Amino acid sequence: MSPVFPPLANKLGELKSSAIRDLLKLTSRADIIGLAGGLPDADLMPRERLAKAAEGALSDNSCLQYTESPGWPALRAVLAARESAKLGRTVPVEEVFVTHGSQQALSLLAEVLLDPGALVIVEDPAYVGALQVFRAAGARIVAVPLDREGMRTDLLAELLARGERPAFVHTVSNFHNPGGVTMSPARRRELAELADAHGFWVIEDDPYGELWFDNPAPAPVATYSRNVIRLSSSSKILSPALRVGWLVAPDPVCRAVELLKQGADLCGSALTHQIAAELLADEAWLTAHIDTVRAAYGARAKALVHAFRARFGDRATCTDASGGMFVWADFTDGTDTEALLPKALDAGVAYVPGSAFAVDGGYRNSMRMCFTTSEAATLEQAIDRLARAAQSTQL
Amino acid sequence: MSPVFPPLANKLGELKSSAIRDLLKLTSRADIIGLAGGLPDADLMPRERLAKAAEGALSDNSCLQYTESPGWPALRAVLAARESAKLGRTVPVEEVFVTHGSQQALSLLAEVLLDPGALVIVEDPAYVGALQVFRAAGARIVAVPLDREGMRTDLLAELLARGERPAFVHTVSNFHNPGGVTMSPARRRELAELADAHGFWVIEDDPYGELWFDNPAPAPVATYSRNVIRLSSSSKILSPALRVGWLVAPDPVCRAVELLKQGADLCGSALTHQIAAELLADEAWLTAHIDTVRAAYGARAKALVHAFRARFGDRATCTDASGGMFVWADFTDGTDTEALLPKALDAGVAYVPGSAFAVDGGYRNSMRMCFTTSEAATLEQAIDRLARAAQSTQL
């Protein structure tokens, strides 16, 4: 007889595990080439430089104590300097707040900006880690589709003209997860103008901006409006184990986040903050390191896209992979990617069906592929396997 | 003209910064002896052992990637073994969940266990980090006073007999912050029996249990009931910079916490988890290390208590400081500790007035003193200064 425990909160009924996380548990077999995950390549992480910085940080006891809720001061200073360079204006340290990965920035901002029933506008397909948080906060969620230039700001303008009043609009402006696209400069300006005109926040979620392959990402949305809260992270350029993300926002937002951070987990780790500060401040080293990651990911992305287009021809289209970690593909021949998945796993390749990223259903003929953790030849083999699986569904 | 930003959530109006944090900002002057803080002594943290473990962890890339939401498996295994020894039963790894400090365990549990308006029973005076989280969750809070044997379980029984039905009861069972007392074995058993009889959870918040001075802490409340969720942390025995806390709870609680952790911050740091795992698994070293901390804190506590009693005689009483980090004092001569504070600061000593820990007001003649970060002679000087300040208020 299993014991009868006291009840849990009723509201938990609304929560569910990420479909992608559940899928990843099924697809971790060694014989499967994983395009499903969304992890940076651990082999490209700067282990020796991290070890040296850890040794330095641990040469005295100052990094062992609790630190301030907004983060280790030296880390905030270097982040403020880097953001100032990106935005072309002086970002004061007070407007930089370090979080436990940028996922924590999303969850704290959901608390700071949303009353129950508030409207949140997201992109479709959407970053599921954000969707999960906004849903848990009791938000009403309306989606605006992506196209090759990013969020369809014309459709956002229509929503606003119909009287919709969002608390904020969430966008992954660069090298979208899962959509693979980057918002054009004109759309950035339009989004910023709408935010100013209608008085809503924009959360510009930018973990991939430095991982460009051929051309740097356009100037951030935040260069066009002060109503923009920028989020980024060291996870994709250094290591997720630092758990160093950050938000850059006007002072009232940062002070509200600070109150909530105290209750959420008091503060971050002075040790990993100090390590991150050292690596982010070493500009010459950092530029060379990120160049190495970009070159590796760029070669993998091109191999994946080339193989996909060669194998599928006009049966499917896929994004160009100009940066980041993901390629998005749409089958034009009616292939159902949920139905295809078991056959793909049998053939030895995993991906995430597009439906996992749909806000209100759809994307049944789409998929997300992550190219970061395999070499070009392996990615080509993955596409061969995928093509075999897709072939068999047609018979 | 300062810019007009979009609004923040209305519910933020209910939140306020911890009075203690605000006080600490005022009392960090170098000429003030700080009894107000609640920090462990960084000089006693095992820096060299931490550095060696960091070097080991960073000798390959496995600690650089994202880790599982419930924590690095090897850390959960060692925590399960240590808890099994403490509880006298086998605690499965699935029932151990690593959090970003035990403050995160509190905030995740508030989400998992509380619907808005749910009843939470806390101790009075209360741990303010818990109060802050329960209030933010919209709980109705009822306080049960402490005496020298810990929570007045007879008064809890009366509340229950009157029909009150808490979602959970929160207790700092060992070396209470701020109250300095430890719950007696008889009270532990009674609390557990009430939890079983009335079907509520007990959160046994135990960050200080290993810091006993003369006698080990009694067996945990969790040895008497399966309705107990235990919380602890490496912050007070190793270093807060690891940000390694944990909860031990039945499987349904851990699985609900896992869903919320994904949204809150995805996962902890594989690097600091691996470091914590190595140090916690090295039993011989750990025992010796904790003995050193206990001996230092014990000597400081005794010096503080001795000086306080010598100086204040029957004008005040204070707890015995049998472990942990805090002494609680009650003035019996009507001294108002809020009114005394500015004079104490002038005299060069800081403490936290009892009112900062009151759930529904009160404790105006009480104060909390932390003895961890000064040597005995300095603590004696602090009490001299306090006595001078208290003397002047009488004139």
Residue A285 has pLDDT above 60, yes or no: yes
Average pLDDT, stretch A274-297? Answer: 98
3-class DSSP string for chain B? CCCCCCCCCHHHHHCCCCHHHHHHHHCCCCCCEECCCCCCCHHHCCHHHHHHHHHHHCCCHHHCCCCCCCCCHHHHHHHHHHHHHHHCCCCCHHHEEEECHHHHHHHHHHHHHCCCCCEEEEEECCCHHHHHHHHHCCCEEEEEEEECCEECHHHHHHHHHCCCCCCEEEECCCCCCCCCCCCCHHHHHHHHHHHHHHCCEEEEECCCCCCECCCCCCCCHHHCCCCEEEEEECCCCCCHHHCCEEEECCHHHHHHHHHHHHHHHCCCCHHHHHHHHHHHHCHHHHHHHHHHHHHHHHHHHHHHHHHHHHHHHHHEEECCCCECCEEEEEECCCCCHHHHHHHHHHHCEECEEHHHHCCCCCCCCEEEEECCCCCHHHHHHHHHHHHHHHHHHHC
Instruction: Name which of A241, A265, A272 is nearest B104 (Cβ-Cβ).
Output: A265
One-letter identity of residue B211? L
Nearest-5° angle of CA A63, CA A67, CA A70? Answer: 135
Q: Sketch the domain layout of chain A as residue ranges.
A: 15-44+287-394, 47-282
How many Cβ pairs within 8 Å bridge chains A and B? 235
Per-residue pLDDT at B1:
47
Contact B365, B337 (CB under 8 A): yes
Instruction: Name which of A17, A42, A112 is nearest B64 (Cβ-Cβ).
Output: A42
Q: What are phi and psi of A101, to 5 degrees?
A: 80, 160
Mutate one of B65, B72, B94 to test the A interface: name it (highest A CB count within 10 A): B65
Per-residue pLDDT at A302:
98
> How many angstroms separate the Cα of A308 from the Cα of each of A65, A197, A324, A387?
51, 43, 18, 8
Q: What percent of chain A has pLDDT over 70?
A: 95
Per-residue pLDDT at A395:
46
Contact state of A199 with B243 under an 8 Å Cβ cutoff? no
Per-residue pLDDT at A1:
46
> How many angstroms separate the Cα of A44 from the Cα of each of A49, A168, A193, A271, B128?
12, 35, 39, 22, 43
d(CA B17, CA B110) in angstroms, rounded, equals 18
* CATH label, A47-282, candidates 3.30.70.80, 1.10.10.10, 3.40.640.10, 3.40.50.2000: 3.40.640.10
d(CA B395, CA B392) in angstroms, rounded, equals 5
Contact state of B240 with A66 under an 8 Å Cβ cutoff? yes
Interface of B with A in 133-192 (CB under 8 A): 133, 136, 167-168
What is the token pair recorded at A226?
């002060």
Residues of chain B with pLDDT under 50: 1, 395
Contact state of A271 with B242 under an 8 Å Cβ cutoff? yes
* CATH label, A15-44+287-394, candidates 3.40.50.1360, 3.40.50.720, 1.10.3300.10, 3.90.1150.10: 3.90.1150.10
Contact state of A227 with B200 under an 8 Å Cβ cutoff? no
Interface of B with A in 32-71 (CB under 8 A): 39-40, 42-43, 45, 47, 50-51, 54-55, 58-67
d(CA B143, CA B184) in angstroms, rounded, equals 19
d(CA B153, CA A60) in angstroms, rounded, equals 45
d(CA A179, CA A44) in angstroms, rounded, equals 24
Q: β-pairing, A119-124 with A140-147?
A: parallel
d(CA B33, CA B384) in angstroms, rounded, equals 11
Q: What is the pLDDT of residues A83-128, one digit of tens each?
A: 999 999 999 999 999 999 999 999 999 999 999 899 999 999 999 9
Alpha helices (runs of H) in A97-236, residue ranges in sequence order: 101-113, 128-136, 153-161, 185-198
Bond prior to A125 in cis (omega within 30° of 0): yes
Put simply, whether A76 touches B (Cβ < 8 Å) is no
Contact state of A18 with B262 under an 8 Å Cβ cutoff? yes
Q: What is the DSSP letter of A243?
A: -
**Same-fold call for A15-44+287-394 versus A47-282:** no
ipTM of the complex in this document: 0.95
State the CATH architecture for B63-282: 3-Layer(aba) Sandwich (3.40)
Taking the CA of residue B308 and the nearest CA in chain A, the distance in Å comes to 28
Kindly identify which residue of chain A lies nearest to residue B44, measuring between CA atoms: A61
- How crowded is residue B214: how many other Cβ atoms within 10 Å of its Cβ? 10
Q: Which residues contact A394 (CB under 8 A, 6 or more apart)?
A: none
Per-residue pLDDT at A394:
61
- What is the CATH topology of the domain spanning B10-46+287-394? Aspartate Aminotransferase, domain 1 (3.90.1150)
Sheet holding B96-99: strands in order across? B96-99, B245-248, B228-233, B201-205, B168-171, B119-124, B140-147, B150-151
What is the token pair recorded at A139?
């938000």
d(CA A50, CA A59) in angstroms, rounded, equals 14
Taking the CA of residue A6 and the nearest CA in chain B, the distance in Å comes to 5
Contact state of B45 with A64 under an 8 Å Cβ cutoff? yes
- How does the average pLDDT of chain A come out, rounded? 95
Contact state of A271 with B272 under an 8 Å Cβ cutoff? yes
